[in-house]
Structure 1
Amino acid sequence: MALVHTGLTIAEQTLASAWQKTWQTGGLKPRACDCGGTVFNILYQRVMADMRRRQFLGGTAAMLAPFLGLSASNAIAQQPQAPVRPLLLTNLRLFDGTGKPPRTGVNVLVTGSTITALPSAGEKVEGAQIIDCQGKLVMPGLIDAHWHTMLAGINQATAMTSDVGYLYLVAAQEAQRTLLRGFTSVRDAGGPAFALKRAIDEGIVTGPRIFPSGAMISQTSGHGDFRLRSEVPRAANAPLSVVESVGVAMIADGETEVLRRVREQLMLGATQIKMLAGGGVASLYDPLDSTQYSERELRAGVEAAADWGTYVMAHVYTPKGIQRAIRAGVRSIEHGQLADDESARMMRDGGVWWSLQPFLQDEDSNVYPDAARRASQQIVSDGTVHAYALAQKYGIKTGWGTDILFNAKITHTQGRQLAKLTRFYDPLTLLAQATGQNGELLTLSGARAPYAGPLGKLAVGALADLLVADGDPTKNLDFLAQPEQNLLLIMKNGHIYKDKLGAQAS
């Protein structure tokens, strides 16, 4: 449903539209990137009725003001202030994001938002504020390469029982929690994250750096088609569906329509494009083994993204879908748990990234009530084990992400879902995946990258996103599973967001 922003400024229109979308996207989202379901439509009816009752147009600015800082607010005042002097971190063990063992005898100098030097321990730096790290680990901020910023923190109970005003705050609150788990950057894999990204970048709310994809591009009957059966067929001049209007997914058939929808997301500020090239575990219509989009359609999206200096990431599981996506020029395969050797060789030979997630049948998995979906989930789980073996066998550039969606009960496990993968990798290699390697993956956005400077590494010239942690990555990554206890200092862009070292008082 279109919103007419009569009487609002352009900025207010942007915020109102984005948060209208947030209200409409509540519901239970199963994992494995099955982004929606029947609850979307139920919640939509509830939210729209509530919005009409509250006369949305007349009340939006007043209702959003305390949260978004449209009037005097404590939100901006609560943001950490920029240090007035350079910060010198001393007495530390440095993990630089490359996978090498931590080293001692080195300090880290942060000036403004950047790491400006790695001086030797004991070397004096005039005018710097000293932060004694007490012999703890200093490492880059973590990066989740497959995260849904706007969709991770809403579960079914919250969506169906909470006052609509509460839903406005969920995404921003979860973004703050994400940062406090040590994740200073995320690659958003689909959803209306543009407004939240802007609010974080402007210091209105706290959260990680966001590389947004915008709405996922789906074919009719594909992984992003959440329409009811009663909505089919759709006339050429029919309005957008609910999920399309809120910016979660866009249906596009044929090269011309793919070009239009991809270009729209680029216009809105997408740093990369997400296309859905195969089925999923709990989708309404598309089975796990389905192949979606022709090579010509995929190539149209790839070429549109490339014209803007960026790339396409593709949701896909099967060998046929993976190989088609690679031939079309896709640069990052999302999931791919059912890949075979030929698909893996194509990824390696083409320099294509494999963005894998820990879809394992364990305590972090969604619970499905029917046997069919549980069977598909088991296939993906078995495939996950095989996929990690293939990635290492062929030396494929591998990213790491969680893909937690519509499951507020497990967002707190974000760090744990990295730590448990030491069954596949040694801890240092795995930690490098979630820092320096994921930082390299983010550079695929090229000129569309919204942040100037390297991420995921502690090196001269890199952006000052770092953690001080009580842990030993040469042994395990279990310390990341309990960030409240084990992350002693969290810095993003040279600002300190958590301090258990007393650094801000020194």
Structure 2
Amino acid sequence: MTTLVLKNANLIDVRKGQVVGERDLLIQDGRIAGIDTRIEGNNVDAVIDLGGRFMMPGLVDSHVHVTAITPNFALLEVLSPFYVGAKSSELLQGMLMRGFTTVRDAGGADHGLAQAVEEGTIIGPRVLYAGRALSQTGGHADMRGPGQQTFEGCFCCAGLGRVCDGVSEVRRAARDEIRKGANQIKIMASGGVASPTDRIDSTQFSIEEIDAIVEEATAANIHTMAHAYTARAINRLLPRGVRTIEHGNLMDEESCRLFLEHGAYLTPTLSTYDALAKEGVEAGMAPHLQQKVFDVLDAGGVALEMAQRHRVKMLYGSDLLGRMQRHQLNEFHLRKDVVPADELIRSATSNAADAYGHTGDFGELIPGARADIIVLEKNPLDDVTVLTTPEEQLKLIVKGGRVFKNSL
């Protein structure tokens, strides 16, 4: 590992939401070793002068599917996992070049893909993976059609989820994903858009099953994330200890109260509904499934406003599929009129580390944290949309102390 100094940077403290002034930053062994107004050293391998540009932590997307090379999940489950892995490498590289240095995969990625990124075989953000999302029969990760009696694929290959029913089965499934190294466990706890046989307003898994899954995750010192749309689904999850609710478009005021009471986080994913409504069928989604998008499209903005008004802690999530993943930064545009720039930036940095139980490891620029850093031409606190034009604004990308882009 090299020793790197980044000089003359306007450092952004994302927790305070302010620029703290020009600083030099010392990176050793992939982590931040020191921050000062002036760093000198004889053992420095490289120095990059940032010329007063704005330096902040690398972005974190808390809801991605890096193996979702198509929005047709039934097709995904019968594709060669080697082909899916190869195509996923393209998606991962695109994410890193947009400034995302950590992503939380919500179903599909596994140890091998995360390890390939860690070793540098694949260029991309650090992948925190859930393995296979847990789904009941007929739930959001069961991709069998209503008339389908058999399934050609298998739930251990390229799909996003696995089917399990009953307390014993869900406990075993959670333990198996933990055995395979899952950083978090994903629960499909309501109906969804991309699944063929469930209704969006359904609840999924019994309370006893949810308790068993959360218990296993807690025992392993990892958190649970749950796919849920309606207030009925959300409000039965939060008291059980689920850490993050994904989507939440149809939540209510009681949901907000429960978020605050239990210290949980909401991950809105407005960008995926916007993209699916505009180009879902063209990108490969079945037309009858695309129609389900309109059940939650407008409600997402209402839920965002409600959550912001109640001061619910939020994470940045995109949940985009296939070629639509190029819209990953659009979430900033879709939230910016409701959420102030500093809070929106926190949702994509320090809030994520806090939610995952990794405070201080990433998501902020402090001594000891991972050297995951992006440098921008302009200050995103003044205009958060500068983050959405990486070709023009994103001048430097450092992940784990390694420079992946330098256009200074």
TM-score (norm 2): 0.90
Q: Give the Cα separation in 1 of the matches to 2:362 and 2:192.
A: 31
The 2-side partners of 1:260 and 1:123 are apart by: 52
| Alignment map for 1:305-324 (pairs within 5 Å) | 305-324=217-236
Instruction: Report matched runs for 1:27-426 at 5 Å.
Output: 82-83=1-2, 86-120=3-37, 122=38, 124-128=40-44, 129-151=46-68, 153-154=69-70, 167-232=84-149, 242-246=153-157, 247-359=159-271, 362=274, 365-367=277-279, 376-405=292-321, 407-408=322-323, 410-426=324-340
SS in 2 for 1:118: strand
Give the CA deviation at 1:249. 1.1
* 8 Å Cα contact 1:90-1:131 kept in structure 2: yes
Change in Cα spacing, 1:364 to 1:244, as seen in structure 2 (3 Å) is closer
Note the residue ranges of structure 1 that are not aligned, 5 or more in a row.
1-81, 235-239, 447-452, 502-506
Q: CA deviation at 1:371?
A: 8.8
Q: State yes or no: 1:457 paired with 2:373.
A: no
Query: For residues 5-33 of structure 1, what are the alpha-carbon distances to aligned partners after superposition, in whole Å with 9 as ceiling and x for unaligned?
Result: xxxxxxxxxxxxxxxxxxxxxxxxxxxxx
Please state how far the C-alpha of 1:271 moved relative to its aligned partner. 0.8
Contact 2:275 2:327 in 1 (8 A): no
The answer as to whether partners of 1:217 and 1:252 remain within 8 angstroms in 2 is yes
Question: Which position in structure 1 is the counterpart of 2:397?
Answer: 490
Q: Distance in 1 between matches of 2:221 and 2:81?
A: 39
> Per-residue displacement from partner, 1:209-247 (whole Å, max 9, x unpaired)?
111101011011111111244554x8xxxxx86251325
How far 1:93 sits from its partner (Å)? 1.2
Q: Supply the distance in 1 between the matched residues of 2:376 and 2:229 (Cα, whole angstroms).
A: 35
Question: Measured at CA, do residues 374 and 214 of structure 1 come closer, stay the same or move farther in structure 2, by a change above 3 Å?
Answer: closer
| One-letter amino acid of the counterpart of residue 417, structure 1 | E
Instruction: Determine the structure 2 residue equivalent to 1:468.
Output: 375
Contact 2:272–2:320 at 8 Å: present in 1 too?
no
TM-score (norm 1): 0.73
Residue 172 to residue 138, structure 1, CA distance change in 2 (3 Å): same
Structure 1 residues 385 and 155, CA gap change in structure 2 (3 angstroms): closer
Distance 1:361 1:250, change over 3 A: closer
User: Alpha-carbon deviation of 1:119?
Assistant: 0.7
Q: Against the structure 1 CA distance between its residues 99 and 404, is the aligned structure 2 distance closer, same or farther, given a 3 Å change threshold?
A: farther
168 and 252 in structure 1: CA distance in 2 versus 1, 3 angstrom threshold: closer
Q: In the superposition, relative to structure 1, how do residues 361 and 221 fare at CA in structure 2: closer, same or farther (>3 Å)?
A: closer
Structure with more of its chain in helix, by fraction = 1
Write the distance in 2 (CA, Å) between the matches of 1:168 and 1:461: 32
User: Which amino acid counterpart does residue 428 of structure 1 have in structure 2?
Assistant: D
Residues 1:374 and 1:167: Cα distance change in structure 2 (over 3 Å): closer
**Cα contact 2:273–2:297 (8 A) shared by 1:** yes
Cα distance change on mapping 1:282 and 1:210 into 2, 3 Å: closer
More moved, 417-426 vs 273-282: 417-426
Conserved? CA contact 1:93–1:104, under 8 Å: yes
Partner SS for 1:383: helix
Unaligned runs of 5+ in 2: none
Give the Cα separation in 2 of the matches to 1:228 and 1:87.
54
SS at match of 1:255: helix
**Which residue identity is paired with 2:357?**
T
- Alpha carbons of structure 1 residues 202 and 396: separation in structure 2 relative to 1, 3 Å: same
Q: CA deviation at 1:440?
A: 1.5
Give the letter aligned to residue 492 of structure 1. K
Return closer, same or farther for 1:361/1:494 CA change in 2, 3 Å cut-off.
closer
Q: Contact 2:171 / 2:216 at 8 angstroms: preserved in 1?
A: yes
Q: Is residue 439 from structure 1 mapped to residue 353 from structure 2 by the alignment?
A: yes
Deviations 1:399-447 (A, max 9, x none): 1110012x21x22221232244211112222112101111222226x9x
- The answer to whether the 8 A contact 1:289-1:318 is kept is yes
Q: Which of the two has higher C-alpha Rg?
A: 1
CA RMSD of aligned residues (A): 2.6
Q: Is the 8 A contact 1:150 1:193 kept in 2?
A: no
Tell me the CA shift for residue 125 of structure 1: 4.0
Measure how far apart 1:360 and its partner are. 7.3
Distance of 2:330 and 2:268 partners within structure 1: 15
Report if the CA contact (8 A) 1:258-1:301 is conserved.
yes
| Structure holding more strand per residue | 2
- Asked if the contact 2:272–2:319 (Cα under 8 Å) also holds between the matched residues in 1, the reply is no
